[in-house]
Amino acid sequence: MPADRAAEVLAHAAAARGFMPPDEGRALFEHAAATAASADGPDGPWLEVGSYCGKSACYLGAAAEAAGRILYALDHHRGSEENQAGWKHHEPDLVDPGLGRMDTLPTFRRTIHDAGLEGTVVAVVGDSPAVAAAWATPLSLLFIDGGHGTEPAHRDYEGWVPHLAVGGTLLIHDVFEDPADGGRPPYEIWCRAVASGAFAEVDAVGSLRALRRTGPGV
């Protein structure tokens, strides 16, 4: 795939709606590309938990397309607690007026279509723990950016991290070491990964953390 195609997808990522600063998005792309290029890395598909309007899926999708991988983009598209009316990250135009509930799926589909990623990014629409419980395919990359409450974040860790193959890359978003900068649960699950002894720390860019699975026992 020509480099200008990756640049085109990255431009769509930068322009897409969502919660991914440019430097952290670029780091997502770089780590995903490095995972695919690693000669001794596992070759399973990739999965992100928490797609919202497709912004991070475009950053990861740019690398997935170049490498011929599939990215499963999991979201129930009803928004996290912090996306609901009255909360800080609420966007009222993403509410389905007929239901009075959030629905980010139409915007997500449009983002993926416009980026030319429909052959690379596969939407999985449902509740993360329910999908994780039935999942069987080892993943070579896992990006966790779903619900940031204590229960959702820890359930994502427990449900998905065991599906990451040894040698695979774990990316966690919104990890704030200083509580003044943001909520604790993403930081707590990053600590779990580090404390498990099953991961090597690879990188930190803004609130994005990258780790490599090095062994069993997550």
Q: Rule CB under 6 A: which residues touch ligand SAH?
A: 18-20, 50-52, 55-56, 74-80, 83, 104, 127-128, 145-147, 152
Q: Which residues are catalytic, by number? A: 148
Contact with Mg ion (CB under 5 A) among 41, 160, 174, 199: 174
Tokens of 1: 């795939």
Contact 152, 189 (CB under 8 A): no
Catalogue the E-assigned strands of the chain.
46-49, 71-75, 95-96, 101-102, 121-125, 139-144, 164-172, 199-205, 208-213
Query: What's the rounded Cα separation, in Å, for the pair 126 and 76?
Result: 4
**Least distance CB 53 / ligand SAH (angstroms):** 6
Q: Which does 146 bind (CB under 5 to 8 A by kind): Mg ion, ligand SAH, none?
A: ligand SAH
Q: Which does 186 bind (CB under 5 to 8 A by kind): Mg ion, ligand SAH, none?
A: none
* Contact flag: residue 55 with Mg ion (CB under 5 A): no
Query: What's the rounded Cα separation, in Å, for the pair 180 and 190?
Result: 17
Nearer to ligand SAH, 74 or 193 (CB): 74
Task: Output the residue with the shortest Cβ distance to ligand SAH.
Answer: 18
Q: Which does 120 bind (CB under 5 to 8 A by kind): ligand SAH, Mg ion, none?
A: none
Contact 106, 94 (CB under 8 A): no
